Amino acid sequence: MDLDALVAVPIIFMVIVAPVWIIAHYVTKWRVAKTLSVDDERMLSDLWHSATEMDSRIQQLEKILDAEAPGWRARQ
- Are 38 and 46 within 8 A, CB to CB? no
Position 1 scores a pLDDT of: 60
Separation CA 56–CA 62 (nearest Å): 10
Position 76 scores a pLDDT of: 64
Q: Where do the structural domains in the chain lie, given as residue ranges?
A: 1-35, 36-76
- Residues in the chain, overall count: 76
Residues in the chain, pLDDT under 70: 1, 76
Position 74 scores a pLDDT of: 86
Position 4 scores a pLDDT of: 81
- Are 44 and 51 within 8 A, CB to CB? no
